[in-house]
Structure formats: C-alpha cells, structure tokens
C-alpha cells in the first residue's frame, strides 16, 4: 500500500469527524503529536499499525453479535463470523493453541472468562452431573444454593503484587479477590527471582483450584514447565496470563519451558502490549475448556466488539509474518541494552537486569519514590509508570519503582545504541531530582525538586533521539 493512501485515510477520517465535533478531531490530532514527541517507555504500550487502527473505525462497530461463530443470538452476523473466525485462526496458528476465543475486551475480561470457564468445568459441571440435570435452571433451590456457595469458595494461588503479579490474579481490590480465597507466592528477597520450591510448598499447603503464572512487572523469564508440574502435583488448573509478553511468545523469543501455551490449561492475554494489536483481550485453551471459554459472552462479557475483532485479525496476521520475530528479538535486545546502560551508571534494578521487555528500576537508590521519579521523568519528556518493587515500603500508590519497557520504542526503530542514550537521560533526570518536603517540613512522597531548565534540556535531547525514527512516517495531518 502506498504511504499516500495511509495519509489520505487518516486525514479524510479527521475531516469527517471535524465536521461534527472539531474538538474531538483536534484531540485525536494532538494525541498523535504527543505520542510522536515523547519517549514512550510504558512497558504495556505500543503503536498499532495503520491497518490495525483503520480496521477499528467502521460499521462493524454497529453490530451486535452475542454468541460465537455460526451460533449467534442475533441475525445477520455473517461478516462478523468472518472476522472472528479469522482472528481465532490467526491466534491458533501463531501460538500453536488448540482453541482461541477473541472476544474479551481487555485483559481483566480475558481473566474473568478464564476463571469462570475453570469454575464451570471443575465445580459447576460435576455438581450438575451429581444432581443428574443438564443445566443450572434444572437444579432444585437447595442444590443451586449449595452450588453458588461452592463456586464462591474456591482457592487461587498467584504471584504477589509487589513481586510483579497482577491485581486481577485474586487481589482483594479486584473482583477476582472477592471471588477467590487467594494466597500469593513472592520472589526470593536475595535474588528477586521466583523460587519454584517455595511455590511448590505454597501449592502443597494451600491446594488451590487454580495456579496462576504470569506478571505485569517481573523482568525475568518464567519456567512454565515447572509451574505446570507444581499445578499437576496438587490437582490445580494451570492458568497463565501472558498479557505482557505475548509478543515475545508470538515472536518465538520465549520457547520451550518459557512458552506458556503448551504447558498451561488456559492462557489469557491482551492484544495491545508487546503483541502490538488493538486494545483488547484473548483466551487460548486446551480442548477440554473450549466450550466453557466460548460462553464468555454473556457470562462475564458484554456484546463482542466486531470492529476490534477485525483489528485483532489484522494485527495477528501481522504477527505471523517473519519480520515480527525480528521485532520481538529486538524488544529484548533493547531492554537488555537499557538495563546495562542503567546499571553501568549506577542504577539499582530489581533482579539486576532483564530477560524480557521490561526493566524495573528501584528508585530508592536515587532517594526518590516512584511517584516523584515518574513525574520528574514526565517533565523531561520521558513517559514511564511507577510500580511497586518487592517488599515495597511505599505501597502501591507512591511505590519505590519505575517500570520501563521497550516494545513501543522498538516499533519506532530505536536500537541498542539509542537505549544507552535513553539510560543516560533517565539517569540524569533521576540523579538531578531531589525529594520535596511538605509545608510542615516532613518528607513528601509526591513533591520533588527538578530544575525546569534541566528538564527542558532532557526533553529536547529525547526529541532529538526520536527524530530519526518518526512515528507513523506516512501520516501527515497538516
Ligand atoms: N495496565 C496494564 C499494565 O500496565 O501492566 C495491565 O494492568
């Protein structure tokens, strides 16, 4: 496709929007400018391709399509069937999965679909069988009451939040924590790494229905073969949330013991992080869970978003191209170069480095909280997010960490030399920032001091670093 076609498509779209509500058109244009000018290091963000973006902006958005391919609760879904089937086929082929469900709207939705599929398979189905009925509507009031109590009384073992686990893996502020009795496994305080013997011990003691692997802030590989063995040893279903590293699995950087798909009973992911697709979620599973997974809508999901499923099909087709493997490898090369650059300059990193797409800086080494560091970096044109570190004394709001990731900058084409320069910019800002004080003289966890001229200088250096790698070079909205 010609570069002109991309530019014309987006300009025309904005013209149409501007005729109705110019402020929305302006905000869309401003977002492109902001994304072009900042050094985006948020580990969970990326830049989807123009084809993926365009696949979402159309009349598929108008269609209701509850149900699954060929089995809908609405008439006229033949074209939705086409894109949903295509997205699922690309997902199965890309990940070597037996079954793919591409309707979840996000990662939390994908996890809810997975939890309820496991509960239906392991708790509800045996109860129906025992009562000798086919469906829940046929249960007596007493049996239904007993089943509801049993469904709400199951156990989950997942990675602790401050070790890098995710809120949706059974933590109380999230619905998963209200559904499950949850225990978590942490990391070894000395190394910051998962201690599989401790996980096995916790599993033996707690006997979870579901063992969850996967993370949103752990900078190392996870051995999914060992976790599956642990799950099997206690009769648990093994679920992996690969939202963060799905692109590294798709690009065959994580293979063998480090590829969750052959080892887990069920795998969830988002599609917009390292996988570089539209915002959304997806579930992959073994055949025995497929029917339950396909009941995700209306079990826990609202109507599917056919326009997003169309975009998932496009993005997954892109990820099946040979150049995606090269992209995935460069993500890791860049993260390692960034980590090495930071370490060489004296930064303290959780686990001392990375083998994936993310790096977790313990900013207590700079005398800052995560919140202070995040804001100082933002003032300097570097977009990151604060994150807890293991045994974080500052809790989940202020934190002691900054999580940075390379999927987005790698998409723009930055390489390892530029990662070293990025490390220099980050280190400069963090060494020049000092913690502020509250009005009463006590130490503040939010206030900070940074010379605005220094921040401006770093922001200009960040822009210079990005200049040879324009974002969406074919798109000219002027
Ligand atoms: N919001 C995603 C992340 O940043 O990791 C997952 O919650």
| pLDDT tens-digit readout, 453-462 | 999 999 999 9
User: Could you tell me the CA-to-CA distances from 131 to 127, 138, 268, 471 in Å, in that order?
Assistant: 6, 9, 32, 60
Instruction: Show binding-site residues for (6S)-5,6,7,8-tetrahydrofolate.
Output: 161, 165-167
Q: What is the pLDDT of residues 165-175, one digit of tens each?
A: 999 999 999 99
One domain for residues 254 and 115 = yes
In a domain, 15, yes or no: no
* DSSP code of residue 318: H
CA distance 84 to 65: 10
For residue range 91-135, list pLDDT tens digits in order.
Answer: 999 999 999 999 999 999 999 999 999 999 999 999 999 999 999
| Rounded Cα–Cα distance for residues 347 and 251 (Å) | 30
Quick one: 149 and 215 in the same domain? yes
What whole-number distance in Å separates Cα of residue 339 and Cα of residue 420? 9
Q: Are residues 215 and 238 in the same domain?
A: yes
CB distance 349 to 362 below 8 Å? yes
Asked if residue 55 is part of any domain, the answer here is no
Q: What is the pLDDT of residues 49-73, one digit of tens each?
A: 999 999 999 999 999 999 999 999 9
Mean pLDDT of the chain: 97
For residue 84, name the pLDDT band (cuts at 50, 70, 90): very high
Ligand 1 shell residues, CB under 6 Å: 44, 107, 166, 216
Can you tell me which atom of ligand 1 is nearest the CA of 45?
4
Q: From atom 1 of ligand 1, which residue's Cα is the shortest distance away?
A: 44
Q: What is residue 4's predicted lDDT score, i.e. its pLDDT?
A: 87
Are 271 and 379 found together in one domain?
Answer: no
Above 80 in pLDDT, residue 2? no
Report the pLDDT value the prediction gives residue 478, as an integer from 0 to 100: 84
Q: In this structure, are 202 and 72 located in the same domain?
A: yes
Largest CA distance in the chain: 74
- Catalytic site residue 218? no
Strands (E) located in 127-254 = 154-159, 180-185, 210-214, 237-241
Q: What single-letter DSSP state applies at residue 136?
A: G
Q: 64, 82, 183, 320: which one is catalytic?
A: 64
Picking from 268, 218, 255, 279, the residue whose alpha carbon sits closest to that of residue 113 is: 268
Question: Is pLDDT at 247 greater than 90 in this prediction?
Answer: yes
What distance in Å separates the CA atoms of residue 282 and residue 105, rounded to the nearest whole number? Answer: 8
The range of the structural domain enclosing residue 410 comes to 323-466
Together in a domain, 270 and 206: yes
CA atoms of 388 and 400, how far apart (whole Å): 6
How far is Cα 127 from Cα 144, in angstroms, rounded to an integer? 9
Instruction: Identify whether the C-beta of residue 352 lies closer than 8 Å to the C-beta of residue 373.
Output: no
Peptide bond just before 298 cis, omega within 30 deg: yes
Q: What is the CATH number of the domain that holds 354?
A: 3.90.1150.10
Q: What percent of the chain has pLDDT over 70?
A: 99
Q: Is the pLDDT of residue 3 over 70?
A: no
Active-site residue (options: 40, 273, 403, 445): 273
Reply yes or no on whether 447 is catalytic: no
End-to-end CA distance of the chain: 21
284 belongs to a structural domain: yes
Q: Which atom of ligand 1 is nearest to the CA of 270?
A: 6
Residue 172 in domain: yes
The predicted pLDDT at position 369 comes to 98
Dump pLDDT digits (tens) for 396-448. Answer: 999 999 999 999 999 999 999 999 999 999 999 999 999 999 999 999 999 99
**What pLDDT sits at residue 88?**
98
- Give a yes or no: residue 412 inside a domain: yes
| 330 and 314 in a common domain | no
Active site residue 323: no
Determine whether 148 is an active site residue.
Answer: no
Summarised one tens digit per residue, pLDDT across range 313-352 is 999 999 999 999 999 999 999 999 999 999 999 999 999 9
């Amino acid at each position: 496709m010609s570069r002109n076609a991309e530019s014309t498509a987006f300009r025309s779209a904005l013209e149409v929007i501007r005729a109705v509500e110019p402020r929305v058109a302006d905000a869309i244009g401003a977002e492109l400018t902001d994304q072009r000018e900042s050094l985006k290091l948020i580990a969970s963000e990326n830049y989807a391709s123009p084809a993926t973006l365009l696949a979402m902006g159309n009349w598929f958005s108008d269609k209701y399509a509850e149900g699954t391919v060929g089995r809908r609760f609405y008439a006229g879904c033949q074209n939705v069937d086409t894109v949903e089937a295509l997205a699922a086929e690309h997902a199965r082929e890309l990940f070597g999965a037996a079954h793919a469900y591409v309707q979840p709207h996000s990662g939390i939705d994908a996890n809810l679909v997975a939890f309820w599929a496991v509960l239906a398979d392991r708790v509800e189905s045996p109860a129906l069988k025992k009562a000798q009925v086919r469906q829940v509507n046929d249960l007596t009031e007493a049996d239904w009451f007993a089943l509801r109590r049993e469904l709400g009384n199951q156990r989950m073992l997942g990675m602790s939040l401050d070790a890098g686990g995710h809120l949706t893996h059974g933590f109380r502020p999230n619905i998963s924590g209200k559904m499950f009795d949850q225990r978590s496994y942490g990391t070894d305080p000395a190394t910051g790494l998962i201690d599989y013997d401790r996980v096995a011990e916790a599993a033996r003691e707690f006997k979870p229905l579901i063992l969850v692997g996967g993370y949103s802030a752990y900078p190392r590989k996870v051995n999914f073969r060992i976790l599956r063995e642990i799950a099997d040893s206690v009769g648990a279903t093994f679920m992996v949330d690969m939202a963060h590293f799905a692109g590294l699995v798709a690009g065959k950087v994580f293979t063998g013991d480090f590829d969750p798909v052959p080892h887990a009973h069920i795998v969830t992911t988002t599609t917009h992080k390292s996988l570089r697709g539209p915002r959304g979620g997806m579930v992959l599973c073994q055949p025995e869970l497929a029917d339950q997974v396909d009941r995700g809508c209306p079990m826990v999901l609202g109507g599917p978003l056919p326009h997003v499923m169309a975009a998932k099909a496009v993005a997954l087709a892109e990820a099946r191209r040979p150049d995606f493997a090269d992209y995935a490898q460069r993500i890791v090369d860049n993260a390692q170069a960034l980590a090495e650059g930071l370490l060489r300059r004296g930064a303290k990193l959780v686990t001392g480095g990375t083998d994936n797409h993310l790096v977790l800086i313990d900013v207590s080494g700079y005398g800052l909280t995560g919140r202070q560091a995040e804001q100082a970096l933002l003032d300097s044109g570097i977009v990151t997010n604060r994150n807890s570190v293991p045994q974080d004394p500052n809790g989940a709001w202020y934190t002691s960490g900054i999580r940075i990731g390379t999927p987005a900058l790698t998409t723009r084409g930055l390489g390892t030399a530029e990662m070293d320069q990025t490390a220099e910019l980050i280190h400069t800002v963090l060494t020049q920032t000092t913690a502020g004080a509250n009005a009463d003289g006590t130490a503040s966890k939010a206030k900070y001091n940074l010379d605005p001229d220094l921040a401006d200088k770093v922001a200009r250096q960040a822009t210079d670093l990005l200049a040879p790698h324009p974002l969406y070079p074919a798109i000219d909205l002027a």
